[in-house]
């Protein structure tokens, strides 16, 4: 069986209301790549990630994610991707462990995998049983990342994952992503932290006014 390309977009258009946020985006991503999406605010990075997650409709053009056609079958895409958006997707009334366990279990992760994810983001100690509402912004981001790790996605879509994280958190995040990519996952990161994300990424693309320009591989 030939492996499907993780992402193939051709002339993809996606709209918010009546505004074409993506205006004919072309992008192909290979397995195991870490692609950095850069570009100014409002260029369409977030929309590109949400489109790849199967969360919004492909208005025109063609798109396949993990072998599923985005115009007819974006529902099949969803459980194979992991999305970390601007929002963390956490329940503030639940504790760190409860949140990570909940999201892990929705995709059928085992208790061991959930514990490993917590440990991976150094959340297994003092913070484990603290309610998310009492955490700082950076600690919440860590929790959201742990939940993402627990989901064992094939395609990771991260929107400004570094935002709010402290130095050690950023290092941990980068290491997690490198490890996931080595294990065969594909990763797309939208970030303004060009220096840091640049060393992490294997390739960079620039999103400008709803279109994607390839900037080539990074050494």
Interface residue list for other proteins (CB under 8 A)? 13, 15, 17-20, 23-24, 50, 53-57, 59, 75, 78-83, 85-94, 98, 102-103, 105-107, 131, 147, 151, 208-211
**Nearest-approach distance from CB 184 to other proteins, in angstroms:** 19
- Decide whether 94 or 116 has the Cβ nearer to other proteins: 94
Q: What is the closest distance, in whole angstroms, from the C-beta atom of residue 94 to other proteins in the complex?
A: 6
Smallest distance, Å, CB 44 to other proteins? 9
Shortest gap between Cβ of 107 and other proteins (angstroms)?
6
Closest distance to other proteins from the beta carbon of 171 (Å): 25
- Give the number of residues written for the chain: 219
Pairing of strands 60-65, 155-159: unpaired
Give the nearer residue to other proteins in terms of CB position, either 93 or 175. Answer: 93
- State the residue for tokens 């919440």: 140
Burial 176-209 (b: 16+ CB within 10 A, else e): bbeebbeeebbbbbbbebeebbeebbbebbbbee
Instruction: Choose between 64 and 80: whose C-beta lies nearer to other proteins.
Output: 80
How many other C-beta atoms are found inside a 10 Å radius of the C-beta of residue 20?
17
Which residue number, 87 or 112, has a Cβ lying nearer to other proteins?
87
b (16+ CB within 10 A) / e for 87-116: ebebeeebbbbbbbbebbeeeebeeebbbb
Nearer to other proteins by C-beta: 30 or 78? 78
CA-closest candidate to residue 33, choices 153, 146, 178: 178
């Amino acid at each position: 069986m030939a492996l499907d390309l993780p992402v193939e977009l051709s002339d993809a258009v996606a709209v918010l209301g009546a505004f074409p946020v993506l205006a004919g985006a072309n992008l192909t991503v290979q397995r195991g790549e870490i692609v950095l999406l850069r570009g100014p605010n409002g260029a369409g990075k977030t929309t590109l990630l949400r489109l790849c997650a199967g969360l919004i409709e492909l208005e025109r053009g063609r798109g396949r994610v993990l072998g599923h056609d985005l115009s007819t079958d974006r529902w099949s895409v969803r459980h194979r991707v992991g999305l970390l958006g601007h929002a963390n997707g956490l329940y503030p009334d639940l504790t760190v462990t409860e949140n990570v366990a909940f999201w892990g279990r929705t995709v059928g992760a085992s208790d061991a995998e959930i514990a490993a994810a917590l440990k991976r983001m150094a959340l297994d100690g003092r913070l484990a049983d603290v309610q998310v509402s009492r955490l700082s912004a950076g600690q919440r981001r860590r929790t959201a990342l742990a939940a993402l790790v627990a989901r064992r996605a094939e395609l990771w879509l991260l929107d400004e994952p570094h935002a709010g994280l402290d130095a050690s958190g950023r290092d941990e995040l980068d290491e997690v992503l490198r490890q996931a990519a080595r294990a065969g996952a594909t990763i797309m990161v939208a970030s303004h932290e060009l220096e840091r994300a640049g060393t992490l990424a294997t390739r960079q693309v620039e999103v400008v006014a709803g279109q994607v320009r390839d900037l080539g591989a990074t050494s």
